[in-house]
């Protein structure tokens, strides 16, 4: 049985609408694509099922999909990243939305089920939970799905594992791996939004602090660069030898977590892996350290260990849980160990999500227009280029154009 929506409070819609209008104003690429396609309504007859962080920029994507003719059903991709005013505004505008900030794990799964009851033909996933649910619970629907798009590194990791096991039932586009996405969203988006969230939640200074960043993928690179820009002394913890060398040559200290745990004032995990910061590390940390996770799932700074070890726990400020160790040391966990930039902030800056969500919109259109075999696909190069070109155009920047002679030279091996 389908429900129209399940949200916290429809009366919050005017506040949500204002936030969405603010974001829309600064998303020229998404606007341009929407304006160009809207008249033809290329998505009419298509139901899109999304599982995304339900905040203002995401609402702009969902609004664009609707303007292109789609029926849109959406669930929140994290209990703490859902913004209730945004859900209210979406519900009021006819999106079938199922989420509320602070929902339990059981509610989270029920909301995914509600979204899937709309029987989408195209899915937009952030983290892989929709595909996992289709594979595990709703095989009946999986066969009818034309395909989908995945937003994040963790989701791609899971899709690769599904493809390797031969259980991925439909085509998925790896939006995360498009250059227009990860070069900007993962690097500059995470770089800015993680520090924005930590600073606004704690009201503490970053300059002069020892900041430990675990993981030197694109997100770790951006977070480290911004930490250095804020005046922190940055140490990178990395298990991949090439990335570790890269961090070293980018000017950062490089070590392992056992060593870093003793020195750090602020710890941020962006490995995408489980138990990056765990009991043995909590045991040697200084009094007053900040712990934050910027990876998709809340498994990196390992909260069950903190809970087991603590003599007592209290909330220091909104968004900060303090775990008091038996020896009196206080370890402060931000955003319950969920991805800090969304749990304790508004997510990536608007202009960055303009690129990511323009990529999502073009990818959803591509999936709806092309019949592909099951598997994980790269986003077609021309779509990826188009997003970057439109962004430059919106900024009034004209870039160099190769002459025919230069094109020919680049395609030739003789010279």
Write out the residues near ligand ADE by the rule CB under 6 A: 52-53, 55, 57-58, 126, 151-152, 189, 341-342, 347-348, 353
The token pair that represents 22 in the structure block: 């603010």
Round to whole Å and give the CA distance between 324 and 316. Answer: 11
Nearer to ligand ADE, 58 or 201 (CB): 58
Round to whole Å and give the CA distance between 306 and 338. Answer: 14
Nearer to ligand ADE, 142 or 175 (CB): 175
Q: Please name which of 111, 191, 121, 125 lies closest in space to residue 157, comparing C-alpha atoms.
A: 125
In the bound complex, what is the minimum distance in angstroms from residue 357's beta carbon to ligand ADE?
8
Round to whole Å and give the CA distance between 111 and 253. Answer: 43
Helix (H, G, I), strand (E, B) or coil at 318: coil
**In this structure, are residues 153 and 217 in contact, taking their beta carbons and an 8 Å threshold?**
yes
Round to whole Å and give the CA distance between 358 and 125. Answer: 15
Tallying the residues shown for the chain, one arrives at: 415
Residue with tokens 């519900």: 91
Nearer to ligand ADE, 121 or 341 (CB): 341
Round to whole Å and give the CA distance between 17 and 106. Answer: 28
Residue with tokens 């609408």: 17
Q: Please name which of 80, 107, 76 lies closest in space to residue 90, comparing C-alpha atoms.
A: 76
The token pair that represents 304 in the structure block: 């069950």
Which residue is nearest to ligand ADE, using beta carbons?
347
Nearer to ligand ADE, 17 or 83 (CB): 83
Nearer to ligand ADE, 306 or 340 (CB): 340
In the bound complex, what is the minimum distance in angstroms from residue 348's beta carbon to ligand ADE?
4
Helix (H, G, I), strand (E, B) or coil at 265: coil
Round to whole Å and give the CA distance between 330 and 156. Answer: 36
In the bound complex, what is the minimum distance in angstroms from residue 181's beta carbon to ligand ADE?
10
In the bound complex, what is the minimum distance in angstroms from residue 45's beta carbon to ligand ADE?
27
In the bound complex, what is the minimum distance in angstroms from residue 193's beta carbon to ligand ADE?
6
Direct distance between the N- and C-terminal alpha carbons of the chain, in angstroms, rounded to an integer: 67
In the bound complex, what is the minimum distance in angstroms from residue 23's beta carbon to ligand ADE?
10
Nearer to ligand ADE, 26 or 233 (CB): 26
Nearer to ligand ADE, 209 or 225 (CB): 225
In the bound complex, what is the minimum distance in angstroms from residue 189's beta carbon to ligand ADE?
6
In the bound complex, what is the minimum distance in angstroms from residue 30's beta carbon to ligand ADE?
12
Running DSSP on this structure, what letter comes out for residue 277? Answer: B
CA atoms within 13 A on the CB side of 241: 0
Nearer to ligand ADE, 197 or 303 (CB): 197
Round to whole Å and give the CA distance between 189 and 351. Answer: 9
């Amino acid at each position: 049985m389908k429900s129209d929506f399940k949200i916290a409070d429809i009366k919050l819609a005017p506040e949500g609408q204002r936030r969405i209008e603010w974001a829309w104003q600064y998303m020229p690429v998404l606007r341009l694509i929407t304006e160009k396609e809207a008249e033809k309504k290329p998505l009419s007859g298509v139901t899109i099922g999304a599982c995304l962080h339900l905040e203002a920029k995401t609402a702009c994507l969902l609004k664009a999909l609707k303007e292109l003719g789609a029926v849109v059903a959406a669930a929140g991709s994290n209990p703490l990243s859902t913004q209730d005013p945004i859900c209210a505004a979406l519900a009021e505008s006819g999106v079938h939305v199922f989420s509320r900030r602070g929902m339990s794990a059981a509610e989270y799964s029920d909301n995914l089920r509600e979204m899937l009851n709309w029987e989408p033909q195209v899915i937009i996933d952030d983290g892989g939970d929709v595909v996992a649910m289709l594979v595990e619970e709703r095989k009946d629907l999986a066969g009818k799905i034309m395909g989908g798009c995945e937003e994040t590194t963790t989701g791609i990791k899971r899709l690769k594992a599904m493809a390797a096991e031969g259980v991925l039932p439909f085509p998925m586009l790896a939006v995360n791996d498009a250059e227009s996405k990860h070069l900007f969203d993962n690097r500059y988006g995470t770089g800015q939004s993680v520090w924005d969230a930590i600073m606004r939640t704690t009201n503490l200074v970053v300059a002069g602090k020892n900041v430990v960043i675990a993981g030197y993928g694109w997100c770790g690179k951006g977070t480290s660069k911004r930490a250095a820009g804020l005046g922190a002394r940055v140490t990178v913890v990395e298990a991949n030898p090439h990335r570790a060398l890269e961090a070293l040559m980018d000017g950062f200290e490089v070590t392992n977590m056992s060593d870093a745990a003793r020195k750090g004032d602020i710890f941020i995990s962006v490995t995408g892996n489980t138990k990056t910061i765990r009991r043995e590390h909590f045991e040697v940390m200084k009094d007053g350290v900040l712990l934050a996770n910027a990876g998709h799932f809340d498994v990196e700074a390992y909260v069950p260990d903190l809970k087991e070890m603590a003599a007592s726990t209290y909330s220091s400020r909104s968004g900060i849980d303090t775990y008091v160790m038996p020896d009196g040391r206080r370890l402060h966990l931000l955003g319950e160990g969920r991805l800090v930039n969304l749990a304790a902030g508004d997510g990536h800056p608007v202009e960055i999500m303009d690129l990511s969500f323009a990529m999502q919109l073009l990818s959803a259109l591509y999936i709806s227009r092309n019949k592909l075999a099951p598997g994980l696909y790269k986003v077609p190069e021309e779509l990826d280029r188009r997003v970057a070109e439109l962004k430059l155009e919106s900024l009034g920047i004209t870039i160099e154009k190769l002459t025919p002679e230069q094109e020919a030279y680049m395609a030739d091996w003789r010279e």
